[in-house]
Amino acid sequence: MVMTAAETLRARAWEAAAAVVDPEIPVLSIADLGVLRDVRVAGGRVEVVITPTYSGCPAMHMIAAEIRLALARAGLGEALVTTVLSPAWTTDWLSQAGRRKLAEYGIAPPPPGGGRRALFGVEQVACPRCGSGDTEQIAEFGSTACKALWRCRACREPFDAFKCH
């Protein structure tokens, strides 16, 4: 099947935008995070749609600038970057590769399907260093607002855990 010029442009734009990394967690691309929601082409112009991990995320300005730069470097011209808040981002949008990269980087990934916590549910987080489930949250905020600080009771190491949204 032959792609149209618009489909080819969209595919090239998606590839360039998907390679942009999160400035706060540089082992993750915005595609791994699920922040990259859509790429549209209209009249030969590219629009990239992104959703922040939370509405006040300070990294979104940098991500939008990096997307524009990535598309310009790919020879795709000036792109429009649109931020949408609805539907709200959820950790369920993290890719499996993204979850693996988080763990390898030392950040406990949220469990699949854990994007919306039960009202009175108890959160269990496995230590990304030793794998123990015997952990405790020691601070609601970690190195960034989208992570909490936890400690493993088994290996005694502190670690960030990605918050479930």
Task: List the pLDDT tens digit at each of the 165 positions of the chain.
Answer: 777 888 999 999 999 999 999 998 999 999 999 999 999 998 889 999 999 988 888 899 999 999 999 999 999 989 999 999 999 998 899 999 999 999 999 999 887 765 455 444 557 789 999 999 999 999 988 888 888 899 999 999 999 998 865
The whole-angstrom separation of Cα 52 and Cα 85 is: 7
The whole-angstrom separation of Cα 62 and Cα 26 is: 12
Read off the tokens for 54: 């939370």
The number of residues in the chain equals 165
Q: Which fold has domain 5-83?
A: GMP Synthetase; Chain A, domain 3 (3.30.300)
DSSP 8-state class, residue 51: -
Domain residue spans in the chain?
5-83, 94-162
**Long-range pairs of 60-66 with CB within 8 A, sequence gap ≥ 24:** 62/23, 63/20, 63/22, 63/23, 63/30, 63/35, 66/20, 66/21, 66/23
